[in-house]
Amino acid sequence: MSLRINDEAPNFTADTTAGEITFHDWAGDSWVVLFSHPKDFTPVCTNELGYMAKLAGEFKKRNTKILGISVDPVDSHVKWKEDIKDVSGHEVEYPLIGDPELKIAKLYDMLPAEAGETCEGRTPMDNATVRSVIVIGPEKKVKLQLTYPMTTVRNFDEILR
């Protein structure tokens, strides 16, 4: 079954770069921008995560939390955060979810059920549909879903607006 606008955003518990979170508890009464990327250390996503780090204060002013996700494990995200800072000049302080078993990506319809059960051996092309932005309201309802092809850079200024 597909996730649709005004559906309750599925709750989950996940390991992140900020420790373990239970999504609904972590979100509290804030808006959330959950955005995904197909693989750590990809050039376009490196720039996008850096740009989101630059905009983090603007999202915070709007009672909005940022949450990134990739199918790579958290230890890879920790290394990638250093690269993102070197490339963009901005430190990623928002959590990045590690989803090496593809559970959250499937829960949020970012990957098809038949995608397998591990990130091992997957390429960015295998994960192409894991380039989504989902905006979730304070009542935990899905307000916006965008999925981008790998050839299109996401416009986070538009998401902020």
Q: Is there a contact between 35 and 68 (Cβ–Cβ < 8 Å)?
A: yes
118 in Cβ contact with 100 (< 8 Å): yes
Q: List the catalytic residue out of 32, 45, 110, 111.
A: 45
Tally Cβ neighbours within 10 Å of residue 119. Answer: 22
Assign residue 140 a region (left: φ > 0; alpha: ψ between -120 and 50; beta: otherwise): left
Active site residue 119: no
d(CA 67, CA 17): 10
Q: What amino acid positions are annotated as catalytic residues? A: 45
